[in-house]
Amino acid sequence: MDAIKVLAPGGYTTTQDKGRFGYQHMGIPVSGALDYFAFALANLLVGNSENTAAMELTVMGPSLEIKKEMDIALTGANMGIRINENSVDQWRSIRVKPGDIVNIGQVQSGCRAYLAFSGGVNVPEIMGSFSTYVGGKIGGFKGRPLQKGDILETRDIPLLIKERIIPHKFIPVYPTHTVVRAIPGPQDDYFDAGIITLFQSEYIVTARADRMGYRLQGESIRIKDGMPESIISEPSMPGSIQIPPDQQPIILLVEQTVGGYAKIATIISSDLSVVAQATPGDTIRFKKIDLNTAHLLVIEEQNKINTIKKIFSNR
């Protein structure tokens, strides 16, 4: 049943879930929500399971006309949300009714926000996922970002009995100067002094920053003498820090499969949300971390999500 009419699409609004797994060997990148933590919480707020199709908003939010009674929630970047011109809070459930106009504004801090609808956005499942892969024109709503006039459906689930609010201590802040943690490799042996440079310098996010990758600008990172400028092409992980011949790092993200340059380090998965919330002009410092600590952080993040699930199920 029609649920949402797009009056204005915002900066770059796509449907995403956790991602499309199992097809990278065929050149299909994983896609999916860049800030998984904020995405998962938006879903939990409206009574969905953690991995349900929701909208990822970038820098500027959309204007939507609501056509069906639903619960919605906005998490992630602070964009501000108004229902019929009345401001409401993010990180909580909001009951909307047919005829309501939802306006989400310009980003104040962070870069990407997540808008979840009870039942989830109803788009066809393509190769096991609802995520939009814009480069391949597949998934999500017609394989592209939303446009003015699009009409989307949601699935039907019972509405919430009681409103839901994320406790304050779980709400992240999105500073303009950030630190992300990274593990050296896979090609850290291509570098010597370059590793020290990476972990001691500050890098600025350039305007060339999207779901494929973030190009950074700062201290040059040189490949050590005797090593080739490129590698035999191989796939990358989201968070790989690649060093191309111009010696300026690129953080590879989720709409990327094969690359041909050495990757000096890989950002830990729990800090990808920090990258997702960085905008052009923000700065990033890298901090070296070991694999065991990174795995403890993965468990810690999942525990946070599980705690929130428990809080909601007790009500």
Partner 1 sequence: MMQIGVFEKPIFRNAGDRGFIIEFGQEIDPDINAKVRAMAAALNKNAPRGVIEIIPTYRSLLLIYDPLITRPEKLVSAIKGIENTLEKTDTESCKIVEIPVCYGGEFGPDIENVEKSANLCREDVVKLHSEPEYLIYMVGFTPGFPFLGGLNKKLFTPRLKTPRMAVPDGSVGIANNQTGMYPIESPGGWQIIGRTPLKLFAPRRKNPFLYKAGDKIKFIPITRKEYTSLRKKEEN
Q: End-to-end CA distance of the chain: give it in Å, rounded.
A: 29
- Asked if 61 is part of the footprint of partner 1 (rule: CB under 8 A), the reply reads no
- Nearest CA among 244, 240, 241 for reference residue 230: 244
Closest to partner 1 by CB, 98 or 260: 260
Q: Binding residue for partner 1 (CB under 8 A) from 212, 227, 305, 311?
A: 227
Q: Are 183 and 266 in contact (CB under 8 A)?
A: yes
CB of 81 to partner 1, least distance (A): 32
Closest to partner 1 by CB, 77 or 265: 265
Q: Binding residue for partner 1 (CB under 8 A) from 11, 80, 105, 135?
A: 135
State the Cα–Cα distance between residues 265 and 187, nearest whole angstrom. 7
- Count the site residues for partner 1 by CB under 8 A: 45
CB of 34 to partner 1, least distance (A): 15
173-200 burial: b if 16+ Cβ within 10 Å, else e: ebeeebebbbbbebbbebbeebbebbee
Structure tokens at 72: 């919605």
Q: What is the DSSP track for 134-157?
A: GGGTBSTTTTS---TT-EEEB---
Query: Binding marks (x or -) toward partner 1, 264..293, rule CB under 8 A?
Result: --xxxxx--------------------x--
Give, as ranges, the residues between 228 and 267 that touch partner 1 (CB under 8 A). 228, 232-237, 239-240, 257-258, 263, 266-267
Peptide bond into 186 cis (omega under 30): yes
CA atoms within 13 A on the CB side of 71: 22
Closest to partner 1 by CB, 148 or 208: 208
- Asked if 137 is part of the footprint of partner 1 (rule: CB under 8 A), the reply reads yes
State the Cα–Cα distance between residues 191 and 122, nearest whole angstrom. 47
CB of 271 to partner 1, least distance (A): 10
- Asked if 299 is part of the footprint of partner 1 (rule: CB under 8 A), the reply reads yes
Give, as ranges, the residues between 9 and 38 that touch partner 1 (CB under 8 A). 21-28
| Strand partners of residue 96 | 70
Residue ranges of alpha helices (H) inside 111-208 are 193-200
CB of 182 to partner 1, least distance (A): 8
Give, as ranges, the residues between 88 and 127 that touch partner 1 (CB under 8 A). 126-127
Residues near partner 1 (CB under 8 A) are: 21-28, 126-127, 135-138, 183-187, 226-228, 232-237, 239-240, 257-258, 263, 266-270, 291, 294-295, 297-299, 302
